[in-house]
Amino acid sequence: MAVTPSSVSITTSPEPSTPSLDALDADPAFALHRGGKLEVRSSVPVRDADDLALAYTPGVARVCTAIAENPALAADYTWVSRVVAVVSDGTAVLGLGDIGPAAAMPVMEGKALLFKEFAGVDAVPICLDCTGVEELVETVARLAPSFGGINLEDISAPRCFEVEDRLRERLDIPVFHDDQHGTAIVVLAALQNAARLTGRSLGDLRAVVAGAGASGVAVSRILLNAGIGDIAVADSKGLIHEGRAGLNSVKSALAADTNRAGLRGTTEDALAGADVFIGLSGSTVAEQAIAGMAADSIVFALSNPTPEVHPDAARRHARVVATGRSDFPNQINNVLAFPGVFRGALDVRAHTITENMKVAAADALAAVVGDAVSADYVIPSPFDQRVAPAVTAAVADQARRDGVARA
């Protein structure tokens, strides 16, 4: 039978409603973020025509002319030498993944806020609508004359490694991918204290790292530089080792420098008899695997918000347990590192951040704990007011020793 239009009933789904701003503001997180978390304030007065003539035309022309003749003067007569760009493409934001540059902005604003609050460093959040390595490098390089340092943030691996390496080669200001190196510095500091608590040195330890992304690679590298006894790194396909097919260049380099024991299999296989577990993968590890580690084991289950193994379960077997969360002891938080690292680098106008400067930052951070070290205190709180000054001084001193300081 033919169906006439008059006999057809069409039901449409209602359009999803967008919550009102008032409804969103009922959530305190939205209320706090309304209008953004940053503003620009002037550092000089403009009270009358004389002030205006100095701050802007005609006085500003004399300063511009001097800088044009001697570009190094920009470090003294503009804000450039004390301002950091916080740059992201939004491809690896927190635990949210690839959410894009617009959605990444609250995080980048937050990062700039932490720079200011913890070390007095002015920072500008910049979210870029491009994801290709070439585009990112070229865009950041073109922005660089406006800044004294570049903090790369939440750029997914493996692109983040090439972006950082190429910018470091191209620019004569510090370039620092915090997801890599901030995490690595704090992990090294906490592990130094955990080893000391258990009567060992780093050279006595065999570690297993779950995760070969930005943070996993950087943590492994800094531990190798600091003299870890041995370290095995696992990705989603298992332990990385020489001869394993399908490794990219970053993982191939790791294979050549790690896993001297030649272990094969999974993370849990490698944990048998291991001294240290460092989780940076978002995966899970069975409690039985933690139970099979060596005596006085150390577990850093850092995936956030869900650690690889619940801290309460890990504590039944490990001497020291750390997480990335603020509601358990020993929070591995990047804010312990990056504000002081940049403050120190900017204070001496360093043209790069060396591996030695990162290790010096970790040493200084570990020293803040001092003789008060305990199973629940191998790393200080981000709110410990000794942290940023200690890291700043250590980084600045090491920059001078490494010959990268210009002031």
Q: Exposed, middle or buried, 253 (CB in 10 Å: 0-12/13-18/19+)?
A: middle
Nearest to 321 by CA among 180, 198, 220: 198
42 φ/ψ angles, rounded to the nearest 5 degrees: -75, 150
- Site of tokens 């979210």: 127
Separation between Cα atoms, residue 181 and residue 170, nearest integer Å: 19
Catalytic residue among 37, 77, 111, 237: 111
Distant-in-sequence, close-in-space partners of 24: CB < 8 Å, separation ≥ 6 = 30
Q: Is 304 annotated as a binding residue?
A: yes
Task: Return the biggest CA–CA distance within the chain.
Answer: 91
- Can you tell me whether residue 151 is helix, strand or coil? strand
Is 111 considered catalytic here?
Answer: yes
Find the catalytic residue in 56, 77, 116, 237: 56
Query: Is residue 377 among the annotated active site residues?
Result: no
**Could you tell me which of 367, 347, 364 has the C-alpha nearest to residue 356?**
364
CB atoms within 10 A of CB 234: 26
Backbone angles phi, psi at 309, to 5 degrees: -140, 140
Query: Is 154 assigned a ligand-binding role in the annotation?
Result: yes
Check the annotation: does 153 bind a ligand: yes
Cβ-contact 235, 250 below 8 angstroms: no
Binding residues for (S)-malate, as ranges, are 304, 333
Q: Which positions make up the binding site for a divalent metal cation?
A: 153-154, 179
Catalytic residue numbers read 56, 111
Could you tell me which residues are annotated as the binding site?
Answer: 153-154, 179, 304, 333
